[in-house]
Structure 1
Amino acid sequence: MIAVDLRVPVGRPVPEVVDFVVGCERAGLHGVGIHDHHHSGRDVYVTLALAAAATSRLELYPATTNPLTRHALVLAATANALTEIAPGRVLLTLAPGFLSVERAGRAQARRAYLGEVVTAVRRLLAGETASLDGHELRMNNAAAPPARVLVLAAGPRMLELAGEVADGVLMLVGLDPRAVAAARAHVAAGARRAGRDPAGLEEILIVPTAVAPFEEALAWPRRWFRPGRPFLAYPSPANLHWLRLAGLDIPEDHRPEDLSPALAARVCDALGLFGPAEHCAERLLRARAETGADHVFLFPAHTEATGYALPVAEVAAFRDVIGPRLAAG
């Protein structure tokens, strides 16, 4: 059985989002990752805390947080407190930041600094002393076992960083077996460089998803995320690198509307789950057979304007079709 998580945005008042997360658990999903977007006016960790108290099985995490708008000690304390509410069900995921830091007027975190923060947070969660920016950090009352800390990685160097410093990786590389194998090699290279065993790292594949009739779903690569940023360059232009490894060479300066429908369909197959629920279930089973993936994070396709809509269709599709098909093997 593949563990399936789902991205849930903070697009509605917090009590409504929590009710939705409870529905995700009832639908049989394994986990939920929630936005850390301060500009929404809703806090991801308040939402996660309420969701943790309202659920009993669901794995919960921010999808994803960053090392700039929250200090490492704050991140550790928050993850630690969530672990006290939901032992064994909490992940902390970190990335350089996109919309959250952009709206705060900041540039994305440097890769090296992200690594320093991940290292510090892991040490704090383990009840150890950490160092960051020349300061010694301590945190009382560390829960055991601690929350795992994962790095969200889309490019080769970020994948290697995850291998070097994190408990695991959420990797956005598509589903093509050639791309997945290459991404895993980068994670392993980072781990070995740090003297770590790659086999001990957790892996979650981020899977772009559009559950819809084929004509609608396969049109996503031919759209813009927002003016000046094609859908295929969101959240990272590294998408195009992995597509090239899958045999699809699309220029970074491409205009989405210039992609042919046939090429868009090939892109969708390499990238994720695009089509009716039955097709998405079979594509996920094929990905498991081709890559051995056993944990995925469904990332519903959206534009900047639609990014806060709750993924109602995806939950229904998982409950009624995808989940039962995966369970049947």
Structure 2
Amino acid sequence: MTTEPGATALFDKFGTYVLPGRASDPRRGIDEAKEAERIGLGCVWISERYALKEPAVLSGAVSEATDRIRITGTFYATMRHPLVTASIANLMQAMSGDRFRLMFARAVPAYMKMLGSPAITMERLADTISIMRRLWAGETVKYEGIMGNFPAIKLTDRYEGPPPPVIFTAIGPKSLEFAGEHCDGVLLHPFVSPQGVANSVKIVRDAAEKAGRDPMAVRIYHNIIVAPDLPADEEAAVVRGRAITYFELPGFGDLIVDINGWDKSVLDQVRAHPKIASLNGKPADQAYTRAELVDVGRILPQQWIDEGAAVGSAAQCADQLMPYLDAGADEILLHGAAPKDMGPLTTELKRALAAKGF
């Protein structure tokens, strides 16, 4: 059987979110995962939102609805007992045939405080990862520390296959260094430019080497907003509206701008907009839809869109994505457009990848 040029590289190097943002129909995520696999993408990513987007449930559903595609579930480390998270990942590897990857995200501290959950600090993350790896290795873990007091926890029915890779979302230097020291992979944030990717890769690899690890064993995943062949109003919501949900956040937006070397004064203009200023710390994506943030998004310079996203025809988007691979990304997470709208893009990606010799 002859494989279409670029198809293997597409499967190895590109994935997509299912159910991005707020979701009212969770079953749509199953259809999106099946479509992603059909058009040749290699991974579906599932974020965590406390309503109709529980990653443990959705990951299990996706594993049964698909055959080959990798599945990455995102979890907040302090919202579950470590044994529960370790058990979910253990079960998902068994259910999916070793296709599961576990990702930890750092939520906005104010959001975790609102939930009454401890802040997701580096110390808590390091201990959580250590505990889970010991559990996956079959140990009975005795632990007393920042995560709590666990006299004797164990996975009584442990899957004997490989443990899932642990990925961490990172933006700034400290979190990138943490990923290099402790994790199997790091997911970079949307609107990090190719130069920002290269800067991030160096920080991760240097930290891994300093920690005595193989620098190339830490995979670099990059999350990019794509809007191929979308109507103008939908493109504005997918790109500029969504961008505001990142840039308005104190800390998050600043770190993206810093890693890219962009003009930080733009963030002041964004945060001074009446829609953002009236939030009093509440995240914009919990108060507005993406379409409702388009007017705020018009503040962003065109340079930020050109360097941080992929917009235009399917062919243009595919060509715009290649520099991120050149900058050191091992795999790209396509975000924004739904899998049902990505067929032409995946065709163009195969063309672009084959042209680069992948």
Q: Which residue of 1 aligns with 2:333?
A: 297
Contact 1:218 1:274 survives alignment (8 Å): no
Conservation of the 8 A alpha-carbon contact between 1:92 and 1:150 = yes
- When residues 44 and 273 of structure 1 are mapped into structure 2, their CA distance, relative to the original with a 3 A threshold, is same
Q: Is the 1:39–1:103 Cα contact (8 Å) retained in structure 2?
A: no
In structure 2, the residue matched to 1:283 is 320
Distance of 2:111 and 2:56 partners within structure 1: 14
Query: How far did 1:181 drift?
Result: 2.4
Deviation at 1:280, TM superposition (A): 1.0
Deviations 1:152-187 (A, max 9, x none): 112221111111211111122645343222212322
Identity %: 25
Change in Cα spacing, 1:259 to 1:77, as seen in structure 2 (3 Å) is closer
Structure 1 letter corresponding to 2:183: A
Residue correspondence of structure 1 range 1-329 to structure 2 within 5 A: 1-2=9-10, 3-9=13-19, 11-40=23-52, 42-62=53-73, 64-98=74-108, 101=112, 104-106=115-117, 108-130=119-141, 131=143, 132-135=147-150, 136-140=152-156, 141-172=158-189, 174=191, 176-212=193-229, 217=235, 223=241, 230-233=244-247, 237-251=251-265, 252-255=267-270, 264-289=301-326, 291-300=327-336, 311-312=338-339, 314-327=341-354, 329=356
- 1: CA distance, partners of 2:231 / 2:261: 22
Distance 2:138 2:30 in 1: 30
In 2 relative to 1, CA 233–192 (structure 1 residues): closer, same or farther, beyond 3 Å?
Answer: same
1:307 matched residue in structure 2: none
What 5-or-longer segments of structure 1 have no aligned partner? 302-310
For 2:106 and 2:329, the matched residues in 1 are separated by 25
Q: Measure the CA separation in 2 of the matches of 1:240 and 1:279.
A: 28
For 2:284, the equivalent position in structure 1 comes to: none
Distance 1:243 1:83 in 2: 37
Inter-partner Cα distance in structure 2 for 1:151 and 1:111: 11
TM-score scaled to structure 1, two decimals? 0.81
Counterparts in 2 of 1:168 and 1:234: CA distance versus 1, 3 Å:
farther
> How many residues align structurally?
312
Instruction: Give the whole-Å Cα distance in 2 for the aligned partners of 1:222 and 1:91.
Output: 29
Match of 1:254, SS state, is helix
User: Are the structure 2 counterparts of residues 234 and 197 from structure 1 closer, same or farther at C-alpha, using a change threshold of 3 Å?
Assistant: farther
8 Å contact 1:153–1:159 — kept in the other structure? yes
What letter corresponds to residue 70 of structure 1 in structure 2?
R
- Would the aligned equivalents of 2:219 and 2:330 in 1 still touch at CA under 8 Å? no
Residue 327 of structure 1 and its aligned partner are, at CA, apart by: 4.5
Task: Tell me if structure 2 keeps the 8 A contact 1:127–1:139.
Answer: yes
Instruction: Please give the alpha-carbon distance, in whole angstroms, between the structure 2 residues aligned to 1:103 and 1:210.
Output: 33
Greater CA deviation, 136-145 or 25-34?
Answer: 136-145
Tell me, in whole angstroms, the C-alpha distance in 1 between the residues paired with 2:246 and 2:219: 26
Q: CA deviation at 1:209?
A: 2.4
Residues of 2 paired with 1:23 and 1:172: CA distance? 24
Show structure 2 runs of 5+ residues with no match. Answer: 1-8, 274-294
Answer yes or no: is the 8 Å Cα contact 1:173–1:179 preserved in 2: no
| Larger-Rg structure | 2
Q: CA RMSD in A?
A: 3.1
Shift of 1:28: 0.8
C-alpha separation between the residues in 1 aligned to 2:354 and 2:41?
Answer: 12
Give the secondary-structure state (helix, strand or coil) at the position aligned to 1:38.
Answer: coil
